Amino acid sequence: MAATPIDYEALTRDARVHGSLYRDPAIFEREFDAIWHKVWVYLAHESEIPRPGDYVSRQIGRQPVIAIRDDDGGVNVFFNRCRHRGNLLCHRDHGNAETLKCPYHGWTYGRSGDLLASTFEEAYGGDLNHKAFGLTRVPRVGTYRGLIFASASAEGATLEDHLGQVKTYIDLFMDVSPSGEIDLRTGVQKLKYKGNWKFLPENSLEGDYHGPFIHKIAFELHSRRSGLDMSSLYENEVPDVIRSLPGGHMIEDYRGASMAAPKRAPSPARQAYVAMMEARYGAEKARELLGTIPPLVYVFPNLIYIMTHIRRLQPVTVDETFVYYQPMLLTGAPPEINEARLREHEFGFGPAGLISPDDIEIMERNQRGVRAEGDDWQFIGRGAHRNVIEADGSSSGFTMDECHLRGMWRHYGRLMSGHG
């Protein structure tokens, strides 16, 4: 007897989220076809592969891929699979290669993906067509501000349409660099948690709400160190901070919020940095960019920018997720500025940091909690009565509202139902 189709939109409607969406293995499997192997997925940043032959190994959903810089400076993205017997062609996370040689039978490919040589070729009767056995390209590849995206589907929305309004917020965190360029080569912090992948964007983009509870000590220490009074964000809630954008993207935008801080004489490095910013952007825009922290950004389904770093998430099983943190350095900024960014990252998000370990623990508790099916609904209705909805489908709310979560789940429901 055929299973009754799941109405995913009904499971993500009216400010409610059904617990099965976090724990049901069949739903998790459906997500690969409806989301991960269909939409645009963030893979890497161009700074990670600056020279010809530089490559990184990543995944689109479950499918392993290689992003490699070719001899002409372009970025190629291939499925990480030898065309001979399907072996994983590249098993390192990153490196530089003149050629890509399969470890199983020695078939060798160029940076362009062309088959350069098979082995013991005389056994193919002298008519092996090398052009027919080049590496398979991922159907669609695109970039924005050096961020490399790819889609395993040949059809669907363009990258331009997928990103839409979120490009404005990507620009805001990229433009804190005085050159407009960033560098993600400092290193990769790898972690995993025993929880569903959707807990990460939910948790990452609503820190104003849970921060006073699970990050209380970190916030107090940060205020003492920086003089920045973060309590003002939730003691006096500010409108238009939380934003939901079409496409399931989410934003915490602090440009309209005031976080009182004492006036301090800037260091020489800070003075030099401000001068660089003013020279590039003009005094008014430089003040806007440096007057507060850049917005926190979630680009559906797997890219997150949080204060000091870019996160890339990778679903593994219904209750296990891998996450990769890459500290974001500002190309051209004084070394002291980037050094301070790294120290700030370590304080909050490093392995012994005071923020991320709390989040990992709370997400694992979430996964254990949703196993209780007594009343199998979660409520994300905070601020629904004051939600400002624009004609373009975006919406905004106050500092701790949940309009962005509602927007993400609506988009998820449409994709899972085949309406995206």
DSSP string, 215-276: SHHHHHHHHHHH---TTHHHHS--TT-EEEETTTEEEE--TT--------PPPHHHHHHHHH
Beta-carbon contacts of 348 under 8 Å, excluding residues fewer than 6 positions away, are 218, 222, 307, 308, 354, 355, 356
Q: Which residues pair with 252 in a beta bridge?
A: 242, 296
**What's the pLDDT at 50?**
97
The residue assigned the tokens 């009216």 is 14
Q: Are 193 and 364 in contact (CB under 8 A)?
A: yes
Average pLDDT over residues 23-41: 97
Question: Where is 167: in which H helix or E strand?
Answer: helix 166-174
**What's the pLDDT at 265?**
86
**What's the pLDDT at 236?**
67
Whether the per-residue pLDDT at 53 is higher than 90: the answer is: yes
Backbone angles phi, psi at 381, to 5 degrees: -100, 5
Rounded Cα gap, residues 169 and 377, in angstroms:
32
Average pLDDT over residues 132-147: 97
Whether the per-residue pLDDT at 240 is higher than 70: the answer is: yes
Q: Which domains does the chain carry? A: 41-144 (2.102.10.10), 164-416 (3.90.380.10)
**What's the pLDDT at 334?**
98
Whether the per-residue pLDDT at 235 is higher than 70: the answer is: no
**What's the pLDDT at 221?**
83
**Which strand ranges, in their side-by-side order, compose the sheet holding 108-109?**
100-101, 108-109, 115-117
Whether the per-residue pLDDT at 1 is higher than 60: the answer is: no
Whether the per-residue pLDDT at 248 is higher than 70: the answer is: yes
Mean pLDDT of the chain: 93
Greater model confidence, 140 or 211: 140
pLDDT digits (tens, 9 = 90+) for 189-226: 999 999 999 999 999 999 888 988 898 888 888 777 77
Q: Model pTM? A: 0.95
Query: For the purposes of burial, counting CB atoms within 10 Å of the CB of 191, is it exposed (0-12), middle (13-18) or buried (19 or more)?
Result: middle
Least confident of 16-20, 288-292, 354-358, 383-387: 288-292
The percent of residues above 70 in pLDDT, for the chain, comes to 96
Sign, CA torsion 134/138/143/146:
negative
Whether the per-residue pLDDT at 109 is higher than 60: the answer is: yes
**What's the pLDDT at 299?**
98
Whether the per-residue pLDDT at 27 is higher than 80: the answer is: yes
Closest by alpha carbon to 6, among 41, 35, 31? 31
Whether the per-residue pLDDT at 91 is higher than 80: the answer is: yes
Rounded Cα gap, residues 279 and 347, in angstroms:
31
Rounded Cα gap, residues 314 and 301, in angstroms:
10
Side chain identity, residue 172: L
**What's the pLDDT at 237?**
80
**What's the pLDDT at 419?**
85
From first CA to last CA, the distance across the chain in angstroms is: 28
Rounded Cα gap, residues 120 and 367, in angstroms:
52
**What's the pLDDT at 124?**
87
The percent of residues above 90 in pLDDT, for the chain, comes to 82
Beta-carbon contacts of 20 under 8 Å, excluding residues fewer than 6 positions away, are 11, 27, 376
Residue 261's pLDDT band, with cuts at 50, 70 and 90, is low
Residue 419's alpha-carbon distances to 19, 35, 331, in angstroms, are 22, 11, 41
**What's the pLDDT at 332?**
97
pLDDT digits (tens, 9 = 90+) for 312-332: 999 999 999 999 999 999 999
Closest by alpha carbon to 255, among 128, 169, 133? 169
**What's the pLDDT at 374?**
87
